[in-house]
Structure 1
């Protein structure tokens, strides 16, 4: 008798050793594995790390654990040697006036027939400094002070005021602009010059010294010294005080 196609299909097969091999062609397929498992695991790890950081910060705030510091924080170490006293001297100067100056130094070092972008160095430096005008009482000669017989007048002969060395204030001085050629930059990287700014400082000091000589600072020092001595000696009972200056 003929059978339907489904009936003719065997429901089981036998293996080589007699075991039954069940046909699973009609069994339902297994569901595919969800691809989001690894992502969820990563989110759990990140969440746990964030929670640990919050807990550590809270414990640190309470003072239970020591303070955590950035291991890459910039630290400054001062290995300078203590100052050495070289000499001492007594001063007999009376500083009668002081002038404050500012100068702009435009210094350029280049080579002829060489492009500036290749070999050139130009520095604009703003220098601020001061110059003192003083009278040196330590150089008074014998007979520089002459008192009258009645004790009512006195004459004093002083050396002319002098200008002290220019004191360049590095806190107020600064490099405004600087241009360097390609070879200058390469040379500085290979063999840097730590005294490169010394020439600019020296020029600024020279300009300030020249300006102080032409500013009338010495005349101001003469007038201030005269007023100081007149007030001091008149308080001692002298009615007339004469102050003259002798050129060195």
Structure 2
């Protein structure tokens, strides 16, 4: 199912900032897509979305289903797509999870309420530092972030029960397959860098990956190496 084109704008009012209006509409849209897990919905409602936006909540889309620009010339993961990725991961409280592509830290923050430990990697030092500050602000002390090359994963912390990648590639990087535990689940967009990709769920069975398509997406490509600047 393709993502819709509905955008959610909070009201601007001195007496009532309307902060509960967009989250209610967003959660309704999420349920309409068949995402009804109560713990996931509660996590989405709990994380303060405004903290993870690059614009003031009153002047831009709070729960837009389209990617928005963030620092370092990157794009964020729309919350609707984040919800679909989390549903595919089927997180449990015992999971150790690796995220490739920290971005603003929004997906990490939501996942931190659903799993035992989140390890998140980004190739931009600026994004990692800003996200870490946000994690501290909300008291998410089960998230560990690092500035590193995401194509290599984080072998020292593996293996992982779940892995989520927010950037696309033609195939799952070998290092990530090796760091995924047996029966573990990996979710990432697969396809060309300049075209439509498919968000895909992979389950590791022995040394093989069993793939299940989720939905079409168009996201930035997974780039090897650390960013030389920023």
The answer to which structure has the higher strand fraction is 1
Query: Normalised by the size of structure 2, how large is the TM-score?
Result: 0.19
Structure number, greater radius of gyration: 1
Higher RCO structure, 1 or 2 (CA under 8 Å, sep 6+): 1
Query: Normalised by the size of structure 1, how large is the TM-score?
Result: 0.18
